[in-house]
Amino acid sequence: VRTVKNICCVGAGYVGGPTCAVVASKNEDVDVTVVDLSQPRIDAWNSSQLPIYEPGLQEIVEFARDGSDQRRSNLHFSTDVRGAIQKADLIFISVNTPTKTVGVGAGRAADIKYVEAAAREIAEVATSDKIIVEKSTVPCGTSEILRDIFEAVGEPHVRFDVLSNPEFLAEGTAIADLLSPDRILIGSEGTPEGLEAANALADVYAAWVPRERIRADVNIWSSELAKLAANCMLAQRISSINSLSAICEATGANIKEISHSVGLDKRIGPNFLKASIGFGGSCFKKDVLNLVYMAETLHLPEVASYWKAVVDINEWQKDRFAKHIIRALNSTVEGKRIAILGLAYKKNTGDTRESPAIAFIGQMLSERAQLAIYDPKVSYDRILRELGDEFGHEAVAKYVKPCESAYAACERASAVAIMTEWDEFKTDQLTPRPTLDLRDLTVSKLSTTPVAKRADSTSSAPSSQSEDNMSSDEEGRQCPSTPPTNTSSPTTELSDPTK
Ligand code: NAD
Protein backbone atom coordinates (compact mmCIF):
# COMPACT_ATOMS: atom_id res chain seq x y z
CA VAL A 1 0.00 0.00 0.00
CA ARG A 2 1.34 3.38 -1.03
CA THR A 3 1.21 6.18 1.51
CA VAL A 4 1.76 9.85 0.93
CA LYS A 5 4.03 11.70 3.32
CA ASN A 6 5.21 14.62 1.25
CA ILE A 7 3.04 16.66 -1.09
CA CYS A 8 4.11 19.36 -3.51
CA CYS A 9 1.59 21.61 -5.23
CA VAL A 10 2.76 23.46 -8.34
CA GLY A 11 0.75 26.70 -8.53
CA ALA A 12 -0.11 28.85 -5.51
CA GLY A 13 -3.27 30.42 -6.89
CA TYR A 14 -6.97 30.39 -6.04
CA VAL A 15 -7.01 26.60 -6.15
CA GLY A 16 -3.51 25.53 -5.02
CA GLY A 17 -3.35 27.77 -1.93
CA PRO A 18 -6.72 27.03 -0.31
CA THR A 19 -6.74 23.34 -1.29
CA CYS A 20 -3.31 22.69 0.19
CA ALA A 21 -4.10 24.71 3.30
CA VAL A 22 -7.02 22.39 3.97
CA VAL A 23 -5.07 19.23 3.05
CA ALA A 24 -2.25 20.24 5.40
CA SER A 25 -4.55 21.27 8.23
CA LYS A 26 -6.24 17.86 8.13
CA ASN A 27 -3.07 15.76 7.70
CA GLU A 28 -0.60 16.86 10.34
CA ASP A 29 1.77 14.01 9.49
CA VAL A 30 2.01 15.03 5.82
CA ASP A 31 4.30 17.88 4.72
CA VAL A 32 2.69 20.10 2.10
CA THR A 33 4.74 22.57 0.08
CA VAL A 34 3.02 24.93 -2.34
CA VAL A 35 5.37 26.33 -4.96
CA ASP A 36 5.02 29.07 -7.52
CA LEU A 37 7.21 30.96 -9.97
CA SER A 38 5.93 34.26 -8.60
CA GLN A 39 8.06 35.47 -5.69
CA PRO A 40 5.58 38.20 -4.64
CA ARG A 41 2.78 35.63 -4.52
CA ILE A 42 4.81 33.28 -2.35
CA ASP A 43 5.92 36.17 -0.12
CA ALA A 44 2.28 37.07 0.37
CA TRP A 45 1.35 33.47 1.27
CA ASN A 46 4.13 33.59 3.88
CA SER A 47 2.88 36.87 5.33
CA SER A 48 -0.21 37.98 7.20
CA GLN A 49 -1.54 39.59 3.99
CA LEU A 50 -2.50 36.57 1.92
CA PRO A 51 -2.62 37.10 -1.84
CA ILE A 52 -6.28 36.14 -2.09
CA TYR A 53 -9.33 36.75 0.03
CA GLU A 54 -11.53 33.83 1.04
CA PRO A 55 -13.62 33.61 4.20
CA GLY A 56 -11.82 31.33 6.69
CA LEU A 57 -8.64 31.06 4.63
CA GLN A 58 -6.42 33.19 6.86
CA GLU A 59 -7.21 31.11 9.94
CA ILE A 60 -6.61 27.78 8.24
CA VAL A 61 -3.35 28.94 6.63
CA GLU A 62 -2.04 30.28 9.92
CA PHE A 63 -3.07 27.08 11.71
CA ALA A 64 -1.10 24.79 9.37
CA ARG A 65 1.66 27.16 8.28
CA ASP A 66 2.62 28.65 11.62
CA GLY A 67 1.99 25.64 13.87
CA SER A 68 1.70 25.98 17.65
CA ASP A 69 2.81 24.33 20.87
CA GLN A 70 0.29 21.56 20.19
CA ARG A 71 0.84 21.17 16.47
CA ARG A 72 3.80 21.13 14.15
CA SER A 73 3.91 23.39 11.12
CA ASN A 74 3.38 21.34 7.96
CA LEU A 75 2.32 23.88 5.32
CA HIS A 76 5.08 25.65 3.42
CA PHE A 77 5.12 28.16 0.58
CA SER A 78 8.22 28.42 -1.58
CA THR A 79 9.66 29.36 -4.95
CA ASP A 80 12.04 26.41 -4.81
CA VAL A 81 9.98 24.46 -7.32
CA ARG A 82 12.66 21.87 -8.05
CA GLY A 83 13.50 21.24 -4.39
CA ALA A 84 9.83 20.65 -3.52
CA ILE A 85 9.32 18.34 -6.52
CA GLN A 86 12.39 16.34 -5.60
CA LYS A 87 11.14 15.65 -2.06
CA ALA A 88 7.49 14.96 -2.89
CA ASP A 89 5.83 11.61 -3.39
CA LEU A 90 2.63 13.22 -4.68
CA ILE A 91 2.50 16.38 -6.82
CA PHE A 92 -0.62 18.41 -7.55
CA ILE A 93 -0.46 20.39 -10.79
CA SER A 94 -2.60 23.41 -10.01
CA VAL A 95 -1.44 25.91 -12.58
CA ASN A 96 -3.64 28.17 -14.70
CA THR A 97 -5.19 26.87 -17.94
CA PRO A 98 -6.47 30.00 -19.69
CA THR A 99 -8.06 30.18 -23.12
CA LYS A 100 -5.47 30.19 -25.92
CA THR A 101 -4.96 33.65 -27.36
CA VAL A 102 -2.89 32.74 -30.40
CA GLY A 103 -2.52 29.91 -32.88
CA VAL A 104 -4.77 26.97 -33.55
CA GLY A 105 -7.94 27.14 -31.44
CA ALA A 106 -7.22 30.73 -30.30
CA GLY A 107 -10.18 32.16 -28.38
CA ARG A 108 -11.62 28.72 -27.60
CA ALA A 109 -9.10 25.99 -26.80
CA ALA A 110 -7.60 25.70 -23.33
CA ASP A 111 -3.94 26.62 -23.23
CA ILE A 112 -2.19 23.83 -21.39
CA LYS A 113 1.32 25.21 -21.82
CA TYR A 114 1.68 25.82 -18.07
CA VAL A 115 0.57 22.27 -17.30
CA GLU A 116 3.05 20.99 -19.85
CA ALA A 117 5.87 23.14 -18.44
CA ALA A 118 5.14 21.91 -14.91
CA ALA A 119 5.16 18.29 -16.12
CA ARG A 120 8.46 18.78 -17.92
CA GLU A 121 10.03 20.26 -14.83
CA ILE A 122 8.77 17.35 -12.73
CA ALA A 123 10.08 14.86 -15.28
CA GLU A 124 13.50 16.52 -15.34
CA VAL A 125 13.87 16.72 -11.59
CA ALA A 126 12.34 13.48 -10.31
CA THR A 127 14.69 10.78 -9.10
CA SER A 128 12.06 8.84 -7.10
CA ASP A 129 8.55 7.56 -7.94
CA LYS A 130 5.86 10.24 -8.11
CA ILE A 131 2.09 10.35 -8.17
CA ILE A 132 1.15 13.21 -10.48
CA VAL A 133 -2.28 14.73 -9.92
CA GLU A 134 -4.00 16.95 -12.49
CA LYS A 135 -5.82 19.46 -10.32
CA SER A 136 -6.08 22.11 -13.02
CA THR A 137 -9.13 21.95 -15.29
CA VAL A 138 -7.83 20.45 -18.51
CA PRO A 139 -9.20 19.18 -21.82
CA CYS A 140 -10.21 15.56 -21.86
CA GLY A 141 -7.12 13.55 -22.81
CA THR A 142 -4.48 15.75 -21.17
CA SER A 143 -3.35 12.87 -18.96
CA GLU A 144 -2.08 11.14 -22.11
CA ILE A 145 0.05 14.17 -22.94
CA LEU A 146 1.48 14.11 -19.44
CA ARG A 147 2.26 10.42 -19.67
CA ASP A 148 4.09 11.03 -22.95
CA ILE A 149 6.16 13.79 -21.33
CA PHE A 150 7.13 11.59 -18.39
CA GLU A 151 8.02 8.75 -20.69
CA ALA A 152 10.11 10.96 -22.96
CA VAL A 153 11.82 13.15 -20.38
CA GLY A 154 11.77 11.22 -17.09
CA GLU A 155 14.46 8.87 -15.79
CA PRO A 156 13.64 5.33 -16.94
CA HIS A 157 13.80 3.92 -13.41
CA VAL A 158 11.32 6.51 -12.03
CA ARG A 159 7.63 5.60 -12.02
CA PHE A 160 5.06 8.33 -12.73
CA ASP A 161 1.40 7.56 -12.04
CA VAL A 162 -0.89 10.21 -13.50
CA LEU A 163 -4.23 10.86 -11.80
CA SER A 164 -7.02 13.32 -12.52
CA ASN A 165 -8.51 14.95 -9.44
CA PRO A 166 -10.44 18.03 -10.58
CA GLU A 167 -11.26 20.75 -8.10
CA PHE A 168 -14.90 21.71 -7.61
CA LEU A 169 -14.45 24.53 -5.08
CA ALA A 170 -16.17 27.82 -5.74
CA GLU A 171 -14.42 31.08 -4.99
CA GLY A 172 -16.06 32.91 -2.12
CA THR A 173 -16.93 29.62 -0.43
CA ALA A 174 -13.66 27.79 -1.14
CA ILE A 175 -12.90 26.76 2.43
CA ALA A 176 -16.42 25.56 3.18
CA ASP A 177 -16.44 23.65 -0.13
CA LEU A 178 -13.07 22.07 0.59
CA LEU A 179 -14.04 21.10 4.12
CA SER A 180 -17.29 19.54 2.98
CA PRO A 181 -17.08 18.60 -0.69
CA ASP A 182 -20.05 17.04 -2.49
CA ARG A 183 -17.65 14.57 -4.05
CA ILE A 184 -13.97 13.91 -4.64
CA LEU A 185 -13.27 12.43 -8.05
CA ILE A 186 -10.04 10.57 -8.63
CA GLY A 187 -9.51 9.26 -12.14
CA SER A 188 -6.76 6.78 -12.90
CA GLU A 189 -5.68 4.47 -15.69
CA GLY A 190 -7.43 1.63 -13.90
CA THR A 191 -4.29 -0.53 -13.78
CA PRO A 192 -3.32 -2.03 -10.39
CA GLU A 193 -0.59 0.64 -10.06
CA GLY A 194 -2.98 3.39 -11.10
CA LEU A 195 -5.61 2.27 -8.61
CA GLU A 196 -2.97 2.02 -5.88
CA ALA A 197 -1.97 5.61 -6.59
CA ALA A 198 -5.64 6.68 -6.60
CA ASN A 199 -6.16 4.99 -3.24
CA ALA A 200 -3.08 6.74 -1.80
CA LEU A 201 -4.63 10.10 -2.76
CA ALA A 202 -8.03 8.95 -1.47
CA ASP A 203 -6.41 8.28 1.92
CA VAL A 204 -5.23 11.90 2.07
CA TYR A 205 -8.82 13.11 1.58
CA ALA A 206 -10.23 10.47 3.89
CA ALA A 207 -8.63 12.36 6.79
CA TRP A 208 -11.76 14.52 6.72
CA VAL A 209 -14.04 13.51 3.81
CA PRO A 210 -16.42 10.57 4.32
CA ARG A 211 -15.30 7.60 2.19
CA GLU A 212 -18.62 7.38 0.37
CA ARG A 213 -17.98 10.81 -1.13
CA ILE A 214 -14.60 9.78 -2.53
CA ARG A 215 -14.80 8.13 -5.94
CA ALA A 216 -11.33 6.72 -6.57
CA ASP A 217 -12.37 4.25 -9.26
CA VAL A 218 -13.22 6.65 -12.08
CA ASN A 219 -11.69 6.37 -15.52
CA ILE A 220 -9.25 9.22 -16.07
CA TRP A 221 -10.96 10.63 -19.16
CA SER A 222 -14.32 10.68 -17.38
CA SER A 223 -12.75 12.50 -14.46
CA GLU A 224 -11.28 15.16 -16.76
CA LEU A 225 -14.53 15.57 -18.67
CA ALA A 226 -16.70 15.56 -15.53
CA LYS A 227 -15.19 18.83 -14.38
CA LEU A 228 -15.81 20.51 -17.72
CA ALA A 229 -19.30 19.04 -17.86
CA ALA A 230 -20.17 20.33 -14.39
CA ASN A 231 -19.05 23.87 -15.18
CA CYS A 232 -20.79 23.85 -18.54
CA MET A 233 -24.07 22.71 -17.04
CA LEU A 234 -23.89 25.32 -14.29
CA ALA A 235 -23.21 28.05 -16.85
CA GLN A 236 -25.99 26.71 -19.03
CA ARG A 237 -28.55 27.11 -16.24
CA ILE A 238 -27.56 30.75 -15.82
CA SER A 239 -27.84 31.45 -19.53
CA SER A 240 -31.16 29.63 -19.60
CA ILE A 241 -32.70 31.74 -16.87
CA ASN A 242 -31.16 34.92 -18.26
CA SER A 243 -32.65 34.22 -21.68
CA LEU A 244 -36.03 33.77 -19.99
CA SER A 245 -35.58 37.10 -18.20
CA ALA A 246 -35.64 38.79 -21.59
CA ILE A 247 -38.92 37.06 -22.41
CA CYS A 248 -40.31 38.22 -19.09
CA GLU A 249 -39.37 41.80 -19.86
CA ALA A 250 -41.13 41.59 -23.21
CA THR A 251 -44.27 40.09 -21.70
CA GLY A 252 -45.83 40.56 -18.30
CA ALA A 253 -44.20 37.57 -16.69
CA ASN A 254 -42.04 37.90 -13.60
CA ILE A 255 -38.63 36.21 -13.72
CA LYS A 256 -38.53 35.75 -9.97
CA GLU A 257 -41.81 33.89 -10.08
CA ILE A 258 -40.56 31.82 -12.99
CA SER A 259 -37.34 30.91 -11.14
CA HIS A 260 -39.25 29.99 -8.04
CA SER A 261 -41.89 27.93 -9.81
CA VAL A 262 -39.42 26.13 -12.04
CA GLY A 263 -37.05 25.47 -9.14
CA LEU A 264 -39.78 23.74 -7.16
CA ASP A 265 -39.68 20.91 -9.66
CA LYS A 266 -37.51 18.29 -7.97
CA ARG A 267 -36.04 17.29 -11.32
CA ILE A 268 -34.76 20.86 -11.78
CA GLY A 269 -34.10 22.20 -8.29
CA PRO A 270 -33.78 25.82 -7.14
CA ASN A 271 -30.05 26.58 -7.52
CA PHE A 272 -28.57 28.70 -10.29
CA LEU A 273 -31.96 29.94 -11.36
CA LYS A 274 -31.82 33.63 -10.55
CA ALA A 275 -31.55 36.08 -13.38
CA SER A 276 -28.54 38.38 -13.37
CA ILE A 277 -26.31 40.33 -15.68
CA GLY A 278 -24.44 37.14 -16.48
CA PHE A 279 -21.75 34.92 -15.07
CA GLY A 280 -18.15 35.93 -14.57
CA GLY A 281 -15.00 34.45 -13.11
CA SER A 282 -11.99 32.81 -14.66
CA CYS A 283 -13.56 29.41 -15.33
CA PHE A 284 -17.08 29.33 -16.75
CA LYS A 285 -16.43 31.03 -20.04
CA LYS A 286 -13.11 29.32 -20.65
CA ASP A 287 -14.44 25.90 -19.71
CA VAL A 288 -17.51 26.20 -21.94
CA LEU A 289 -15.30 27.37 -24.81
CA ASN A 290 -12.94 24.50 -24.09
CA LEU A 291 -15.84 22.07 -24.52
CA VAL A 292 -16.93 23.89 -27.68
CA TYR A 293 -13.47 23.47 -29.11
CA MET A 294 -13.33 19.81 -28.13
CA ALA A 295 -16.65 19.22 -29.89
CA GLU A 296 -15.38 21.03 -32.98
CA THR A 297 -12.22 18.96 -33.14
CA LEU A 298 -14.29 15.80 -32.65
CA HIS A 299 -16.40 16.86 -35.68
CA LEU A 300 -19.51 17.42 -33.63
CA PRO A 301 -20.62 20.86 -34.88
CA GLU A 302 -24.15 20.59 -33.43
CA VAL A 303 -22.73 19.93 -29.98
CA ALA A 304 -20.29 22.81 -30.38
CA SER A 305 -22.98 25.30 -31.39
CA TYR A 306 -25.28 24.15 -28.57
CA TRP A 307 -22.66 24.99 -25.93
CA LYS A 308 -21.41 28.09 -27.72
CA ALA A 309 -24.90 29.57 -27.28
CA VAL A 310 -24.36 29.50 -23.50
CA VAL A 311 -21.49 31.97 -23.86
CA ASP A 312 -23.31 34.01 -26.51
CA ILE A 313 -26.33 34.55 -24.26
CA ASN A 314 -24.01 35.59 -21.45
CA GLU A 315 -22.31 38.24 -23.60
CA TRP A 316 -25.69 39.44 -24.83
CA GLN A 317 -27.05 39.72 -21.29
CA LYS A 318 -24.07 41.84 -20.18
CA ASP A 319 -24.46 44.08 -23.20
CA ARG A 320 -28.21 44.44 -22.63
CA PHE A 321 -27.60 45.66 -19.10
CA ALA A 322 -25.21 48.40 -20.19
CA LYS A 323 -27.51 49.49 -23.01
CA HIS A 324 -30.40 49.65 -20.60
CA ILE A 325 -28.53 52.04 -18.32
CA ILE A 326 -27.47 54.19 -21.26
CA ARG A 327 -31.03 54.36 -22.52
CA ALA A 328 -32.29 55.19 -19.06
CA LEU A 329 -29.95 58.18 -19.00
CA ASN A 330 -31.42 59.58 -22.23
CA SER A 331 -28.78 57.83 -24.31
CA THR A 332 -26.19 60.39 -23.25
CA VAL A 333 -23.89 59.25 -20.54
CA GLU A 334 -20.96 61.51 -21.33
CA GLY A 335 -19.90 63.45 -18.27
CA LYS A 336 -22.50 61.81 -16.04
CA ARG A 337 -21.35 60.11 -12.90
CA ILE A 338 -22.15 56.41 -12.64
CA ALA A 339 -21.55 54.71 -9.31
CA ILE A 340 -20.29 51.17 -9.71
CA LEU A 341 -20.65 49.10 -6.57
CA GLY A 342 -18.50 46.03 -6.82
CA LEU A 343 -15.72 45.11 -9.20
CA ALA A 344 -15.20 41.49 -8.11
CA TYR A 345 -17.16 38.97 -10.16
CA LYS A 346 -19.00 37.74 -7.07
CA LYS A 347 -19.14 38.46 -3.37
CA ASN A 348 -16.60 37.21 -0.85
CA THR A 349 -13.72 37.27 -3.28
CA GLY A 350 -11.42 39.97 -4.58
CA ASP A 351 -11.14 38.14 -7.90
CA THR A 352 -12.06 40.34 -10.85
CA ARG A 353 -11.21 37.94 -13.67
CA GLU A 354 -13.92 38.08 -16.37
CA SER A 355 -16.04 40.18 -14.05
CA PRO A 356 -19.19 41.52 -15.75
CA ALA A 357 -18.37 44.79 -13.95
CA ILE A 358 -15.29 45.18 -16.13
CA ALA A 359 -17.24 44.64 -19.35
CA PHE A 360 -19.76 47.22 -18.12
CA ILE A 361 -16.98 49.67 -17.29
CA GLY A 362 -15.60 49.25 -20.81
CA GLN A 363 -18.93 50.21 -22.29
CA MET A 364 -19.32 53.18 -19.96
CA LEU A 365 -15.79 54.38 -20.77
CA SER A 366 -16.56 54.28 -24.47
CA GLU A 367 -19.50 56.58 -23.66
CA ARG A 368 -17.15 58.83 -21.66
CA ALA A 369 -19.08 58.51 -18.43
CA GLN A 370 -17.41 59.43 -15.16
CA LEU A 371 -17.12 56.27 -13.10
CA ALA A 372 -17.01 56.14 -9.31
CA ILE A 373 -16.04 52.63 -8.30
CA TYR A 374 -16.03 50.91 -4.96
CA ASP A 375 -15.38 47.30 -4.00
CA PRO A 376 -14.65 46.23 -0.42
CA LYS A 377 -11.97 43.76 -1.52
CA VAL A 378 -10.41 45.44 -4.51
CA SER A 379 -8.07 48.19 -3.40
CA TYR A 380 -7.88 51.69 -4.81
CA ASP A 381 -4.57 50.90 -6.52
CA ARG A 382 -5.76 47.63 -7.98
CA ILE A 383 -8.84 49.28 -9.47
CA LEU A 384 -6.64 51.78 -11.29
CA ARG A 385 -4.03 49.21 -12.29
CA GLU A 386 -6.39 46.53 -13.54
CA LEU A 387 -8.66 48.91 -15.42
CA GLY A 388 -5.64 50.80 -16.76
CA ASP A 389 -4.15 47.57 -18.10
CA GLU A 390 -7.46 46.72 -19.73
CA PHE A 391 -8.59 50.07 -21.11
CA GLY A 392 -5.48 52.28 -21.12
CA HIS A 393 -4.09 54.23 -18.20
CA GLU A 394 -4.82 57.61 -19.73
CA ALA A 395 -8.55 56.94 -20.13
CA VAL A 396 -8.73 55.45 -16.67
CA ALA A 397 -6.98 58.43 -15.09
CA LYS A 398 -9.47 60.71 -16.80
CA TYR A 399 -12.74 58.87 -16.22
CA VAL A 400 -12.31 56.54 -13.25
CA LYS A 401 -12.38 57.47 -9.60
CA PRO A 402 -11.90 54.67 -7.07
CA CYS A 403 -13.84 55.38 -3.89
CA GLU A 404 -13.39 54.37 -0.29
CA SER A 405 -17.00 53.49 0.37
CA ALA A 406 -20.28 52.81 -1.35
CA TYR A 407 -21.51 56.13 0.00
CA ALA A 408 -18.64 58.05 -1.53
CA ALA A 409 -19.20 56.34 -4.88
CA CYS A 410 -22.91 57.14 -4.87
CA GLU A 411 -22.53 60.84 -4.12
CA ARG A 412 -23.89 62.91 -7.00
CA ALA A 413 -24.32 59.79 -9.12
CA SER A 414 -26.85 59.79 -11.93
CA ALA A 415 -27.10 56.01 -11.73
CA VAL A 416 -26.00 53.33 -9.33
CA ALA A 417 -25.00 50.00 -10.84
CA ILE A 418 -24.69 47.21 -8.31
CA MET A 419 -22.34 44.80 -9.97
CA THR A 420 -21.39 42.52 -7.05
CA GLU A 421 -23.80 41.31 -4.41
CA TRP A 422 -21.61 42.20 -1.42
CA ASP A 423 -23.61 41.98 1.77
CA GLU A 424 -22.66 45.50 2.74
CA PHE A 425 -24.61 46.84 -0.22
CA LYS A 426 -27.77 45.39 1.25
CA THR A 427 -27.29 45.33 5.00
CA ASP A 428 -25.30 48.33 6.17
CA GLN A 429 -22.99 45.80 7.76
CA LEU A 430 -19.69 47.61 7.56
CA THR A 431 -18.57 50.63 9.48
CA PRO A 432 -18.11 53.50 9.27
CA ARG A 433 -21.44 54.62 7.93
CA PRO A 434 -21.18 58.24 9.02
CA THR A 435 -23.84 60.35 7.40
CA LEU A 436 -26.12 58.29 5.25
CA ASP A 437 -28.18 55.22 5.78
CA LEU A 438 -27.67 52.91 2.85
CA ARG A 439 -31.37 52.13 2.81
CA ASP A 440 -32.13 55.78 2.17
CA LEU A 441 -29.61 56.01 -0.58
CA THR A 442 -31.73 56.24 -3.66
CA VAL A 443 -30.35 57.62 -6.85
CA SER A 444 -32.74 60.55 -6.82
CA LYS A 445 -31.48 61.75 -3.46
CA LEU A 446 -27.95 61.87 -4.72
CA SER A 447 -28.57 63.24 -8.16
CA THR A 448 -28.62 66.80 -9.20
CA THR A 449 -29.72 66.61 -12.79
CA PRO A 450 -33.16 65.94 -14.24
CA VAL A 451 -31.66 62.98 -16.02
CA ALA A 452 -31.15 61.44 -12.65
CA LYS A 453 -34.88 61.32 -12.16
CA ARG A 454 -35.01 59.03 -15.11
CA ALA A 455 -32.18 57.02 -13.66
CA ASP A 456 -34.06 56.79 -10.42
CA SER A 457 -36.82 54.96 -12.18
CA THR A 458 -34.36 52.39 -13.37
CA SER A 459 -32.13 51.80 -10.35
CA SER A 460 -33.63 51.43 -6.95
CA ALA A 461 -31.85 51.60 -3.62
CA PRO A 462 -29.09 49.01 -3.32
CA SER A 463 -30.66 47.45 -0.27
CA SER A 464 -33.87 46.71 -2.09
CA GLN A 465 -32.22 45.31 -5.18
CA SER A 466 -29.74 42.94 -3.81
CA GLU A 467 -31.71 39.93 -2.79
CA ASP A 468 -33.91 39.86 -5.83
CA ASN A 469 -31.18 39.84 -8.34
CA MET A 470 -28.50 37.64 -6.97
CA SER A 471 -27.77 34.72 -9.11
CA SER A 472 -25.57 31.76 -8.48
CA ASP A 473 -22.92 31.26 -11.03
CA GLU A 474 -19.73 29.38 -11.32
CA GLU A 475 -19.50 26.40 -9.05
CA GLY A 476 -21.99 27.85 -6.64
CA ARG A 477 -20.82 31.37 -7.02
CA GLN A 478 -23.23 34.23 -6.83
CA CYS A 479 -23.56 36.43 -9.83
CA PRO A 480 -23.49 40.18 -9.75
CA SER A 481 -26.82 41.83 -9.23
CA THR A 482 -28.89 43.57 -11.81
CA PRO A 483 -30.60 46.72 -10.64
CA PRO A 484 -34.33 46.22 -11.08
CA THR A 485 -36.34 48.88 -12.80
CA ASN A 486 -38.50 49.10 -9.75
CA THR A 487 -38.98 46.93 -6.76
CA SER A 488 -42.59 46.13 -7.36
CA SER A 489 -42.12 44.92 -10.89
CA PRO A 490 -38.94 42.90 -11.08
CA THR A 491 -39.94 41.38 -14.38
CA THR A 492 -39.06 44.59 -16.10
CA GLU A 493 -35.54 44.69 -14.76
CA LEU A 494 -33.82 45.41 -18.00
CA SER A 495 -36.69 46.95 -19.89
CA ASP A 496 -36.68 50.38 -21.40
CA PRO A 497 -37.90 52.70 -18.65
CA THR A 498 -39.17 55.20 -21.17
CA LYS A 499 -41.81 52.76 -22.35
P1 NAD B 1 -4.24 31.05 -10.69
O2 NAD B 1 -3.89 31.82 -11.89
O3 NAD B 1 -4.82 31.75 -9.51
O4 NAD B 1 -2.97 30.25 -10.15
C5 NAD B 1 -2.10 29.54 -10.96
C6 NAD B 1 -0.69 29.74 -10.43
O7 NAD B 1 0.19 28.85 -11.09
C8 NAD B 1 -0.11 31.14 -10.65
O9 NAD B 1 0.25 31.71 -9.41
C10 NAD B 1 1.12 30.90 -11.54
O11 NAD B 1 2.19 31.77 -11.22
C12 NAD B 1 1.45 29.47 -11.18
N13 NAD B 1 2.25 28.78 -12.19
C14 NAD B 1 2.03 28.67 -13.52
N15 NAD B 1 2.98 27.89 -14.09
C16 NAD B 1 3.80 27.49 -13.10
C17 NAD B 1 4.95 26.66 -13.05
N18 NAD B 1 5.44 26.06 -14.15
N19 NAD B 1 5.57 26.48 -11.86
C20 NAD B 1 5.08 27.06 -10.75
N21 NAD B 1 3.99 27.84 -10.73
C22 NAD B 1 3.35 28.06 -11.89
O23 NAD B 1 -5.23 29.89 -11.19
P24 NAD B 1 -6.40 29.19 -10.33
O25 NAD B 1 -7.61 30.06 -10.31
O26 NAD B 1 -5.82 28.69 -9.06
O27 NAD B 1 -6.75 27.98 -11.29
C28 NAD B 1 -5.86 26.90 -11.45
C29 NAD B 1 -6.58 25.80 -12.19
O30 NAD B 1 -7.69 25.31 -11.42
C31 NAD B 1 -7.17 26.22 -13.53
O32 NAD B 1 -7.06 25.14 -14.43
C33 NAD B 1 -8.62 26.47 -13.22
O34 NAD B 1 -9.46 26.28 -14.33
C35 NAD B 1 -8.90 25.42 -12.17
N36 NAD B 1 -9.97 25.75 -11.23
C37 NAD B 1 -10.12 27.02 -10.77
C38 NAD B 1 -11.13 27.30 -9.85
C39 NAD B 1 -11.32 28.70 -9.34
O40 NAD B 1 -12.34 28.93 -8.72
N41 NAD B 1 -10.39 29.61 -9.53
C42 NAD B 1 -11.96 26.29 -9.40
C43 NAD B 1 -11.76 25.00 -9.86
C44 NAD B 1 -10.75 24.74 -10.78
Binding-site positions read 11-16, 36, 41, 95-99, 136-137, 171, 283-286, 353
User: For the segment 137-150, what is each residue's pLDDT rounded down to a tens digit?
Assistant: 999 999 999 999 99
pLDDT, mean over the chain: 88
Whether the predicted pLDDT of 151 surpasses 70? yes
Marked catalytic residue, from 140, 232, 248, 283: 283
Closest ligand 1 atom to residue 114 Cα is 15
Binding-site positions for NAD(+) read 11-16, 36, 41, 95-99, 136-137, 171, 283-286, 353
Whether the predicted pLDDT of 498 surpasses 50? no
* Ligand 1 mutation target, pool 10, 232, 283, most atoms within 8 A of CB: 283
Whether the predicted pLDDT of 464 surpasses 80? no
Task: Return d(Cα 1, Cα 124) in angstroms, integer.
Answer: 26
Cα of 165 vs centre of ligand 1, distance in Å, is: 14
pLDDT band at 291 (very low <50, low <70, confident <90, very high): very high
* Ligand 1 mutation target, pool 96, 113, 283, 284, most atoms within 8 A of CB: 96
Task: Return d(Cα 454, Cα 408) in angstroms, integer.
Answer: 21
Whether the predicted pLDDT of 476 surpasses 60? no
User: For the segment 189-208, what is each residue's pLDDT rounded down to a tens digit?
Assistant: 999 999 999 999 999 999 99
Of the candidates 172, 170, 36, 212, the one whose C-alpha atom is nearest the C-alpha of residue 474 is: 170
Whether the predicted pLDDT of 293 surpasses 90? yes
Whether the predicted pLDDT of 352 surpasses 60? yes
Cα of 17 vs centre of ligand 1, distance in Å, is: 9
Task: Return d(Cα 24, Cα 76) in angstroms, integer.
Answer: 9
> Would you say how long the chain is, in residues?
499
What is the three-class DSSP state of 274?
Answer: coil
CA angle at 62 for the pair 59 and 66, rounded to the nearest 5°: 160
User: At a CB cut-off of 8 Å and minimum separation 6, what does 437 contact?
Assistant: 428
Residue spans per domain, the chain: 6-209, 249-492
**Pocket of ligand 1 from Cβ distances under 6 Å:** 10-16, 35-38, 41, 81, 94-97, 114, 117-118, 136-137, 167, 169, 171, 282-283
CB-hemisphere CA count at 13 Å for 354?
A: 18
* Ligand 1 mutation target, pool 8, 9, 15, 285, most atoms within 8 A of CB: 15
Cα of 390 vs centre of ligand 1, distance in Å, is: 21
Reported pTM: 0.86
Q: How many CB atoms lie within 10 A of CB 204?
A: 22
Cα of 352 vs centre of ligand 1, distance in Å, is: 15
Q: Do domains 6-209 and 249-492 have the same CATH topology?
A: yes
Cα of 13 vs centre of ligand 1, distance in Å, is: 5
Higher pLDDT, 483 or 302: 302
Cα of 68 vs centre of ligand 1, distance in Å, is: 30
Class of the CATH domain delimited by 6-209: alpha beta
Whether the predicted pLDDT of 448 surpasses 80? no
Closest ligand 1 atom to residue 351 Cα is 41
Our answer to whether residue 410 is catalytic in this structure is no
Task: Return d(Cα 464, Cα 483) in angstroms, integer.
Answer: 9
Whether the predicted pLDDT of 157 surpasses 80? yes
Class of the CATH domain delimited by 249-492: alpha beta
Cα of 119 vs centre of ligand 1, distance in Å, is: 14
pLDDT at 427: 86
Name the residue at shortest CA distance from atom 4 of ligand 1. Answer: 13
Task: Return d(Cα 132, Cα 160) in angstroms, integer.
Answer: 7
Residue-wise over 56-73: b if at least 16 C-beta within 10 A, else e?
A: bbeebbbbbbeeeeeeee
pLDDT at 479: 33
Task: Return d(Cα 36, Cα 446) in angstroms, integer.
Answer: 47
